[in-house]
Amino acid sequence: MIDNVRLVNHSEGISVPQTIRIATRKSPLALWQAEFVKAELLKHHPQLEVQLVAMTTRGDVLLDTPLAKVGGKGLFVKELEVAMLENRADIAVHSMKDVPMEFPPGLGLTVICEREDPLDAFVSNSYTNLAELPPGSVVGTSSLRRQCQIRATFPELQIKDLRGNVNTRLAKLDYGDYDAIILASAGLMRLGMEARIASRLEPELCLPAGGQGAVGIECRLEDQATIDLLQPLEHSQTRIRVTAERALNRRLEGGCQVPIACYAELDEPGDCLTLRGLVGSVDGTHILQDQLSAPLEQAEKLGIELAERLLAAGAGEILAEVYGTG
């Protein structure tokens, strides 16, 4: 194990990290995100040494079972968090849509980077969009959020689970196991595969997951020197949007793998935030949607208020049924 060596700034009495270790999953997309953070850190702090500590998580191993049945997407972050708590790593880089609502004591989300395209992508070798698919066509996605919204509009399609990293999912499509698959646009763009996107699913058709397209950085809350080094990577507008989305999810007590969607947008002047939220039954027969707007500084409150409205409309009963059958 390589210790985190630090230089002391005697003029300020602050211990400054000389080496930062990034805990990351081994999937191509996770490694891209870690390399992105490494490059950004070196751009702002050329004297740093940045090391990647790649590890396999339970979510990477349990590929034969839908995430909803084995604990949700938190399976992708636990091992990374343990590495930080045991001082085998200093920071962890996550897709924000995979980050659980609560953090272990001593850890926190210290930076949210600028958001990439948050929309879902329709990927097919034969069709341009969902509306073109003939009845009975097989669409691959393990996301309950995507499943419920697609079933609501296209009940004639077959939805089948699809696990694995981006390359694995594309290979299953190319092999003919599916007529189309749904992936996050951001992941395909980051991996240089934007050409595989036949079309994007507009929010009116499929509202994205909270935090989708954004990269977050988690670290030990006591490590102020590392937190300070990370600050140039913070994107305030993305944090505002993701804060509202996660507040809604938290109030609904939604894990990462439930049929909940939420998407916050800033208006053109940048002083008003509009949040759309959705809760649906997995079979798509019951969909609740609503939206609210508020000033930027009320992002957390906005998410909670919209969640309350969804709960008043029956979201709690829908989610209880999902949890009961999961």
Q: Which residues are catalytic?
A: 98
- Are 130 and 153 a contacting pair, CB within 8 Å? yes
**HEC-encoded secondary structure of the chain:** CCCCCEEEECCCCEEEECEEEEEEECCHHHHHHHHHHHHHHHHHCCCCEEEEEEECCHHHHCCCCCHHHHCHHHHHCHHHHHHHHCCCCCEEEEEHHHCCCCCCCCEEEEEECCCCCCCEEEECCCCCCHHHCCCCCEEECCCHHHHHHHHHHCCCCEEECCCCCHHHHHHHHHHCCCCEEEEEHHHHHHCCCHHHCCEEECCCCCCCCCCCCCEEEEEECCCHHHHHHHHHHCCHHHHHHHHHHHHHHHHCCCCCCCCEEEEEEECCCCCEEEEEEEEECCCCCCEEEEEEEEEHHHHHHHHHHHHHHHHHCCHHHHHHHHHHHC
- Are 207 and 262 a contacting pair, CB within 8 Å? yes
CA distance 87 to 2: 10
Give the up-direction half-sphere exposure of residue 89: CA atoms within 13 A in the CB hemisphere: 24
CA distance 9 to 286: 59
- Are 297 and 240 a contacting pair, CB within 8 Å? no
